[in-house]
Chains A and B, each alone.
Chain A
Amino acid sequence: MNSAETAIKIRTRDLDFYYGAARALKKVSVDCHDRKVTAIIGPSGCGKSTFIRTLNRMNDVIAGTRVDGEILIDGQNINAPEVDVVELRRRVGMVFQKPNPFPKSIYDNIAYGLRINGMRDRRKLEETVEKSLRGAALWDEVKDRLDENAFALSGGQQQRLCIARSLAVEPEVILFDEPCSAIDPIATAKVEDLIERLKSTYTVVIVTHNMQQAARVSDYTAFMMLGELVEFDQTEKIFTNPANKLTEDYITGRFG
């Protein structure tokens, strides 16, 4: 596979990020290809979560943060003043580390994103809820109890519900921030299968501290350390023939 074959969906150039005076990202430049899975790996505190949260400007909600450099999605700088952050987040969905369904019914969790965008038609809502739950491979497990509170689901089911919830608003990109760190191995396998299927429709960026997971699900891998991008390449290359000594040490488990 040649990287020139697919279009680039997200491109960051010399991305710096500051929490107050602390610099969490240093000149990070990564290209995320359209309808491919890009994994971000690295030891704890390397800035991988910070990085993924800059892509939908989720860090905006934290006071005293600052971004330098460029993040282009479809060529558009998402930090430009004319960009509507609400619209951006609708296009760039996010699944968080800990499953975070709303304290509402399963149905209402999915319908939430549709309702805030003004969808009122009951039939259409029902259709989209079903489609989204099918898309997240959860429909068969919950179709008879859509009115139940989402907290009644298991952790893995809750995480797939959160994925379904982001699918409902039909984003172009889905960001996964360590989506499997709080769920068991069987549930993890299900989420990984799901990511594999999602990439036919969506551009996926996934942060993970689990290298096997990155190797299994991703097409491209970025290895970060101390806020810097150490190496970025096709996943196969990173895991079989890394160019950088640090990368090799990390993926062979010599540190981290």
Chain B
Amino acid sequence: MRKKRRSGLKESAIKAFFFTSGILAVLVLLGIFLTLVATSFPAFREIKLGEFFLNTRWDPTSPEKAEYGLLSMIMSTLMVTAGALVLAVPIGIGVAAYLSDVAHWRVREILKPVVEILAGIPSVVVGFIGIVLFGPAIAKVFHIGNGLNALNGSILLAIMALPTIISISEDSLNAVPRAYSEASLALGASRWQTLVRVKLPAGLSGIIAAVMLGMGRAIGETMTVLMATGNARSFPHGFLEAVRTMTANIAIELGEVPYYTTHYYALFAIGLVLFVMTFAVNLIADVVLNKYQEREQ
């Protein structure tokens, strides 16, 4: 009897441990969110919501009239992210398909770890490469004075998002049951047809998740874009203009802003907007994933 009670105790202790670790993640997320909300809120005593989201001028330290318009930076973030995805998604899916379907197993043994190491390169190093390598190259190709612009940021973020996209897409292609590809091949489909018509659609949920995760990384990345995009505060009209993303702006200004001023609170408000954006991306990814999985079952 006693032994039984003891094992029951152990059981509930283990249960409690896992419950606590699970709930901890939720608490941390909630804590971050509430801190952001609480610290952002005072900003809106002075800034109108309409101005914050629709004004393109961000000039909080102006001696005449401080302006808190976020639109240019939202636009910059979206542009750099979209550009990164346009570059990274086709390449990423292509490499994933190559690794899972075409490459000789020896090539795969080498290439896969290399791709994963790529994920470990510090963002400051990527930014450095943007400054010394891609920047001058872009300037030369497009005959412009300075290559530190949105395009440069997009290229670098694409490089940073690639490992995530490749490795998760490859996992999801590999998880497609072999029975599907065998069925397709047995009907006289070529390997290419099997990949495009059977494997990619069947692995689509994982590929979408991979793209969303890559996108999350691109939206939130700070150091690289701070170094390589030129940081101009004006509204961007093209990829060859210097831009300042929301993340870069927070990083640049938070170190010098006087505490507990409207400017200080406004920087947290930018953080909140970023948080909501990444949260939305993840939520959409989740919904899409569930929808596809339901349909497959």
Residues of A within 8 A of B (CB): 56, 58, 61, 63, 86-87, 89-91, 93-94, 96, 98, 100-104, 112-113, 115-117, 149, 151, 162, 165-166, 169
Contacts and interface: CB of A to CB of B under 8 A. Distances in A.
Given A102-B198, A116-B193, A151-B297, A90 B188 contact: yes
Contacts of A151: 296-297
A84 B40 CA distance: 66
Contact of A165 (B177, B182, B187, B197): B187
B24 interface: no
Given A90-B188, A151-B297, A116 B182 contact: no
Contacts, number: 70
A63 B105 contact: yes
Given A89-B185, A96-B179, 9 more contacts: A58-B186, A61-B181, A89-B188, A100-B177, A103-B180, A103-B202, A103-B295, A112-B189, A113-B188
B186 A112 contact: no
Contacts of A103: 180, 201-202, 295-296
Contact of B186 (A63, A87, A94, A149): A94
Contact of A100 (B105, B182, B188): B182
B182 A96 contact: yes
Interface in B282-297: 295-297
A56 B197 CA distance: 21
A165 to B, nearest CB: 7
Contacts of B201: 103-104
Interface residues of B, number: 22
A104 to B, nearest CB: 8
B105 A89 contact: no
Contacts of B186: 56, 58, 89, 93-94, 96, 166
B180 A100 contact: yes
B179 A116 contact: no
Given A103-B296, A112-B184, A149-B295, A86 B189 contact: yes
Nearest to B179: A100
Given A112-B197, A116-B193, A166 B187 contact: yes
Nearest to A168: B187
B159 to A, nearest CB: 31
B187 A112 contact: yes
A103 B198 CA distance: 9
B183 interface: yes
